[in-house]
């Protein structure tokens, strides 16, 4: 049975002291309790007592007796000798003299602590490994490490490394074979044949059908929409959606599909039949949901940017073009009305003829008639919808939507709430209506009004649907089609209509925990979130806090010159003045930056890998096996560098080095770099940063900020959206990132365009890769809404968005009769506690569903917001959020340190963004990825490299500060906390890159002399 998944180094560190235990580990694992002392004190000689203690604590710490019981770090011996009052710890060497004594002691310790031999527990361990392999798909190394933990927890003596490795390999191979057989067995001969044909290359084609179907749409057009729906239809026609795979964990299906999505057809064809069919089945199942997502996403982009937005833009342009004429006509009308108004003061004898004479002295009747006609043509009549003009323009684009409308209604299975069901029914009826042949009563371009959902037409569409001069009992065909499409689109965006076989456009209500699932999870979830089932005591406490805060701030307004209330009752807070850099900080910053060793980005990544073995170990192949590549870390570092610098593979290649050839790097990129491995690799970086004294001086890791950095996407993509402020005439995406006060990135999320952060901020927090869970979250104004404030507090976060529009911030009160003095006008809103109480059980279920990952906060907020008309549950959540929004505003205006802390974290985020733009310099900083998955892969690599730079800089800055202190330089702690880990002059981001570490012999690089002049150019 093969066990080569363990490297020689890993096998050598099994069941031994790989390093001396830390102080914390000594205190936790080597402190002798009363039971241990009772066993040890029965021994007479010092070396026997000390040797016995070493054997006992080694067993508890490692899980096995050592062949040489004294082969332990001196720190362990010294720590135990001190507890046993043994003056000479070296006497432990005499313990090796009598082997029988050592064996007798081992048997006594084993019996006293209930340890059993491995053979007695091997079968139970095999079942655990099988369950773990079946449900998680972990690789053999992860299963091996888990097995070691299991054996220690169950007090089983660890076997030899080969014995355990062979068991893990055998059981995992059997679980994988069972997985493949379970997926392949239900397939009929026809289904299996259809899957196999996906690997064939059709005549005249260059790629297989599988590779073609894996490519999603990139263009935004009616034809592209039709092609996207064809793709969904083709995947559905394979006929595997009816195959029952519910017994297989969803995670395993996704992992198999990930491998199928990344592999070439020839590689899949070489697999055994069961594995090949299982992989293809999983790939098609996941690909069908992804194709549905792509089609619905494309429809959303098409409606939002190409149809609605373009019609509105064309209408605005036309209005601007007509403005000179309209303004001239309006001037004539204004002059005539001015005379008419003046005529009301001329007395009762005034006649109409005299008035007209006066008007015609200013403007003629002919000019007035022309002006009135012109104004009537361009200005909507009173009571009509001002948007009717752009809707009329939109109708002219009917040819864009006509080709794909029938397929949209039939290819994708949609569902709807009871409220939105009539809209979905109207959409489904469109194909038959459009296929009806023209008749004398219903000519071409019109639909029979008796067969359409006339009651659905809102007032804004009435003028376009019921066009003047149409045949009796008909409606305008194009107007009605676009009316139904807009109604459908609105309800789709707020998830009142949803795609059944979808991931991103599914029904969030169905994903909420309910029934037995909620009953099973509610206890632990509510305990974790510290939420009571009875809201009254909690709401009473919040009411007291809010009342006290309002009274406190109102009472301080006279003495607090930084806060004022204007005549309208609006609050104004003093500006936060930038704290000038003292000369000591300027010099310290200069010296630290000058001391950092010059280094290539690739060397930074490799050096961090040498510090953190778990970093490179996180990069496992998509197939789920164990990496078998020599110098994998070098290839990973090169691929990460190429992506982070946005320079492609060419600058990182070294043809003479096997790990740096194009083929190797491309293979690693396709099979090892993905969101899961990025997250696993980021976790040890976050932990390492938290252990550095300098990072601890910056903060405790409980404060974090959310913000986004924008990237232009110059290639065609449905995942890039327009925003002239950030992208000019092009489109782009936003990388939202979560950074804590120790300057390390905790999570990242790529979102289309520049959406409101409030829809994504909670999902980003719950994607945290590692480290302590932040308690305080800071964001910009884009994340600011009452519902987000309420949801954040339910989830246990203290939410502090920056307030850019403070004077317009409305304060809320619970006690309507309280007199809050100068804040009475500002605190004019009334919080309805009764509404919160009525919906409290649903609010708990909502928070619990998000906390457990059953549903995304993004979908929940869209559902509750309901297109600007919040649901009753959304209103209850908003009322709850207004309590904490008001407390936040009061703290913001009253406490300068509170505002400064928010500004400090925002500045930290900007520093990281500046470093990101500096690093991501290739191709003018544009992101040339057409698909969302590719964007996440590249920007995920950027985030990981930024954390490598942050950790590397912090380590060497900490060393620089230590040297400066040793040399007597006056290092002030108030200056240390203002040092930035995002220094970059020492980093090389241009040219050809080195991936060969110098021989550091376990030490750090030599710091440079800060007083030596450096004429190198700024990097």
Q: What is the DSSP letter of 306?
A: I
Rounded average pLDDT over 912-919: 95
Band (pLDDT 50/70/90 cuts) for residue 359 is confident
Q: What pLDDT, on the 0 to 100 scale, is given for residue 729?
A: 83
Q: What pLDDT, on the 0 to 100 scale, is given for residue 936?
A: 93
What confidence tens digit (pLDDT) does each residue in 725-775 have?
888 888 999 999 999 999 999 999 998 876 665 678 899 999 999 988 999
Sequence-separated (6 or more) residues with CB below 8 Å from residue 447? 433, 436, 474, 475, 476, 477, 480
Range in 112-126, 358-372, 875-889 with the lowest mean pLDDT: 358-372
Band (pLDDT 50/70/90 cuts) for residue 44 is confident
Band (pLDDT 50/70/90 cuts) for residue 2 is very low
CA distance 824 to 813: 10
Rounded average pLDDT over 433-437: 92
Q: What is the pTM of this model?
A: 0.82
pLDDT over 70 (residue 577): no
Residue with tokens 């949801």: 791
Q: What pLDDT, on the 0 to 100 scale, is given for residue 138?
A: 80
CA distance 871 to 843: 13
Q: What pLDDT, on the 0 to 100 scale, is given for residue 590?
A: 94
pLDDT over 60 (residue 1019): no
pLDDT over 90 (residue 455): yes
Q: What pLDDT, on the 0 to 100 scale, is given for residue 191?
A: 93
3-state secondary structure 100-121: HHHHHHHHHHHHHCCCECHHHH
What confidence tens digit (pLDDT) does each residue in 162-186 have?
999 999 999 999 999 999 999 999 9
What confidence tens digit (pLDDT) does each residue in 117-163 have?
999 999 999 999 999 888 887 888 888 888 998 998 899 999 998 99
3-state secondary structure 137-167: CCCHHHHHHHHHHHHHHCCECCCCHHHHHHH
Q: What pLDDT, on the 0 to 100 scale, is given for residue 757?
A: 59
Q: Report DSSP letters for 414-464, one per residue.
A: EEE-TTTHHHHHHHHHHHHHHHSPP-SSS-TTEEEGGGS-GGG--HHHHHH
Q: Report DSSP letters for 809-866, one per residue.
A: PPPEES-TT---GGGTTTT-EE--HHHHHHTHHHHHHHHHHHHTTSS-HHHHHHHHHG
What confidence tens digit (pLDDT) does each residue in 302-326 have?
998 888 877 777 777 766 676 677 7
Rounded average pLDDT over 568-577: 69
Q: What pLDDT, on the 0 to 100 scale, is given for residue 323?
A: 63
Residues comprising the chain, all counted: 1019
Band (pLDDT 50/70/90 cuts) for residue 827 is confident
Q: Could you tell me the two tokens for 337?
A: 């009305």
What confidence tens digit (pLDDT) does each residue in 850-868 have?
999 889 998 898 888 877 7
Band (pLDDT 50/70/90 cuts) for residue 994 is confident
Q: Percentage of the chain with pLDDT > 70?
A: 94
Q: What pLDDT, on the 0 to 100 scale, is given for residue 803?
A: 80
What confidence tens digit (pLDDT) does each residue in 788-807 have?
999 999 999 999 988 876 65
Band (pLDDT 50/70/90 cuts) for residue 380 is low
Neighbours of 174 (CB within 10 A): 15
Q: What pLDDT, on the 0 to 100 scale, is given for residue 196?
A: 93
Average pLDDT for the chain:
88
pLDDT over 90 (residue 623): no
Q: Report DSSP letters for 483-546, one per residue.
A: HHHHHHHHHHHTTSEEETT-STTS-HHHHS--HHHHHHHHHHHHHHHT--SS-HHHHHHHHHHH
Q: What pLDDT, on the 0 to 100 scale, is given for residue 13?
A: 80
Q: Report DSSP letters for 357-388, one per residue.
A: HHHHTTS-HHHHHHHHHHHHHHSPPTTS-TTH
| Cα angle for residues 727, 730, 733 (degrees, 5° grid) | 60
Q: What pLDDT, on the 0 to 100 scale, is given for residue 807?
A: 58
Q: What pLDDT, on the 0 to 100 scale, is given for residue 620?
A: 87
pLDDT over 90 (residue 544): yes
CA distance 730 to 928: 12
Q: What pLDDT, on the 0 to 100 scale, is given for residue 1016?
A: 53
Rounded average pLDDT over 658-662: 92
Q: What pLDDT, on the 0 to 100 scale, is given for residue 866?
A: 76
Range in 421-430, 625-634, 656-665, 907-916 with the lowest mean pLDDT: 625-634
Q: What pLDDT, on the 0 to 100 scale, is given for residue 142?
A: 81
Q: Which residue has the higher pLDDT, 718 or 945?
A: 945
Compute CA distances 891 → 575, 802, 979, whole Å: 15, 12, 27
Residues 678 and 940: beta-carbon distance below 8 Å? yes
Q: What pLDDT, on the 0 to 100 scale, is given for residue 680?
A: 92
Band (pLDDT 50/70/90 cuts) for residue 565 is confident
Q: Could you tell me the two tokens for 332?
A: 């004539």
């Amino acid at each position: 049975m093969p066990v080569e998944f363990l490297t020689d180094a890993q096998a050598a560190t099994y069941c031994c002291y790989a390093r001396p235990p830390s102080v914390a580990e000594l205190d936790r694992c080597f402190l002798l309790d009363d039971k241990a002392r009772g066993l040890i004190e029965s021994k007479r000689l010092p070396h026997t007592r000390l040797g016995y203690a070493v054997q006992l604590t080694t067993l508890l710490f490692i899980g096995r007796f050592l062949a040489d019981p004294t082969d332990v770090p001196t720190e362990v011996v010294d720590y135990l000798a001190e507890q046993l009052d043994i003056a000479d710890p070296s006497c432990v060497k005499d313990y090796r003299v009598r082997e029988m004594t050592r064996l007798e002691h081992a048997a006594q310790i084993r019996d006293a602590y209930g340890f059993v031999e491995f053979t007695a527990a091997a079968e139970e361990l095999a079942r655990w490994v099988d369950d773990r392999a079946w449900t998680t798909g972990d690789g053999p190394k992860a299963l091996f490490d888990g097995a070691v933990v299991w054996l220690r927890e169950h007090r089983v003596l660890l076997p030899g490394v080969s014995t355990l490795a062979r068991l893990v390999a055998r059981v995992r191979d059997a679980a994988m074979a069972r997985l493949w057989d379970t997926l392949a067995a239900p397939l009929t001969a026809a289904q299996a044949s259809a899957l196999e044909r996906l690997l064939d290359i059709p005549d005249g084609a260059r790629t297989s059908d599988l590779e073609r179907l894996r490519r999603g749409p990139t263009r935004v057009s009616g034809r592209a929409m039709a092609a996207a729906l064809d793709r969904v239809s083709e995947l559905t026609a394979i006929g595997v959606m009816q195959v029952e795979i519910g017994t297989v964990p969803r995670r395993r299906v996704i992992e198999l599909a990930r491998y199928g999505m990344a592999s070439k057809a020839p590689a899949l064809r070489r697999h055994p039949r069961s594995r090949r069919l299982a992989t293809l089945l999983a790939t098609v199942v996941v690909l069908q949901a992804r194709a549905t997502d792509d089609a619905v996403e494309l429809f959303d982009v098409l409606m939002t940017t190409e149809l609605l937005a373009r019609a509105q833009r064309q209408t605005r342009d036309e209005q601007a073009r007509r403005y000179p004429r309209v303004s001239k006509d309006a001037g004539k009308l204004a002059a005539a009305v001015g005379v008419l108004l003046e005529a009301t003061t001329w007395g009762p004898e005034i006649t109409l003829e005299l008035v007209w004479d006066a008007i015609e002295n200013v403007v003629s009747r002919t000019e007035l008639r022309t002006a009135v006609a012109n104004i009537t043509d361009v200005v909507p009549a009173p009571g009509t919808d001002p948007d009717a003009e752009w809707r009329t323009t939109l109708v002219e684009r009917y040819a864009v939507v006509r080709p794909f409308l029938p397929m949209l209604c039939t290819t994708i299975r949609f569902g709807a709430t009871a409220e939105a069901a009539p809209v979905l029914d109207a959409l489904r009826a469109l194909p038959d209506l459009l296929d009806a042949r023209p008749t004398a009563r219903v000519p071409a371009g019109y639909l029979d009004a008796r067969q359409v959902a006339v009651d659905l037409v809102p007032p804004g569409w009435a003028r376009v649907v019921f066009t003047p001069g149409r045949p009796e009992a008909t409606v305008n065909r194009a107007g009605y089609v676009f009316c139904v499409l807009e109604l459908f689109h609105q309800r789709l965006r707020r998830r009142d209509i949803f795609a059944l076989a979808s991931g991103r456009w599914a029904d969030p209500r169905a994903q909420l925990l309910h029934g037995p699932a909620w009953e099973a999870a509610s206890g632990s979830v509510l305990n974790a979130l510290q939420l009571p089932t009875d809201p009254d005591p909690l709401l009473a406490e919040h009411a007291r806090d809010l009342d006290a805060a309002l009274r406190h701030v109102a009472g301080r307004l006279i003495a607090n010159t930084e806060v004022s209330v204007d005549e309208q009752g609006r609050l104004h807070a003093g500006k936060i003045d930038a704290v000038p850099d003292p000369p000591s900080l300027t010099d310290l910053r200069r010296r630290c930056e000058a001391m950092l060793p010059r280094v290539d980005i690739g060397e930074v990544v490799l050096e961090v890998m040498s510090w953190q073995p778990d970093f490179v170990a996180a990069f496992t192949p998509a197939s789920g096996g164990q990496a078998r590549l020599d110098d994998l870390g070098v290839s990973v570092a090169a691929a990460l560098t190429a992506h982070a610098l946005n320079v492609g593979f060419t600058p990182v290649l070294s043809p003479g080095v096997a790990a740096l050839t194009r083929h190797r790097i491309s293979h690693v990129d396709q099979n090892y770099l993905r969101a899961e491995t990025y997250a696993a690799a980021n976790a040890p970086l976050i932990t390492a940063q938290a252990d550095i004294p300098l990072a601890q001086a910056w903060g405790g890791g409980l404060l974090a900020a959310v913000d986004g950095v924008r990237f232009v996407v110059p290639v065609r993509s449905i995942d890039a959206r327009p925003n002239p402020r950030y992208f000019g005439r092009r489109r782009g995406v936003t990388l939202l990132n979560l950074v804590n006060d120790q300057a390390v990135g905790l999570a990242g999320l790529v979102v289309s365009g520049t959406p409101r952060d409030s829809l994504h901020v909670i999902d980003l927090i719950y994607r945290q890769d590692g480290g302590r869970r932040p308690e305080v979250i800071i964001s910009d104004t884009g994340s600011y809404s009452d519902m987000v404030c309420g949801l954040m507090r339910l989830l246990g976060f203290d939410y502090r968005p920056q307030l850019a529009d403070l004077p317009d911030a409305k304060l809320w009160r619970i006690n309507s009769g309280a007199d809050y003095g100068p804040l009475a006008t500002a605190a004019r809103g009334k919080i309805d506690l009764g509404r919160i109480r009525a919906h409290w059980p649903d609010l708990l279920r909502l928070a619990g569903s998000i906390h457990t990952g059953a549903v995304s906060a993004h979908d929940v907020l869209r559902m509750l917001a309901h297109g600007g008309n919040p649901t009753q549950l959304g209103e209850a959540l908003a009322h709850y959020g207004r309590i904490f929004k008001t407390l936040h505003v009061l703290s913001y205006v009253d406490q300068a340190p509170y505002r400064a802390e928010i500004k400090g974290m925002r500045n930290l985020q900007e520093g990281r963004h500046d470093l990101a733009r500096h690093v991501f310099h290739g191709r003018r900083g544009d992101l040339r990825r057409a698909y969302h998955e590719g964007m996440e892969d590249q920007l995920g690599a950027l985030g990981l490299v930024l954390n490598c730079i942050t950790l590397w800089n912090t380590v060497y800055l900490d060393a620089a500060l230590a040297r400066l202190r040793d040399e007597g330089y006056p290092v002030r702690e108030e200056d240390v906390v203002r040092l930035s880990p995002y220094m970059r002059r020492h980093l090389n981001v241009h040219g050809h890159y080195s991936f060969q570490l110098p021989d550091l012999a376990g030490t750090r690089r030599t710091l440079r002399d800060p007083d030596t002049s450096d004429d190198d150019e700024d990097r």
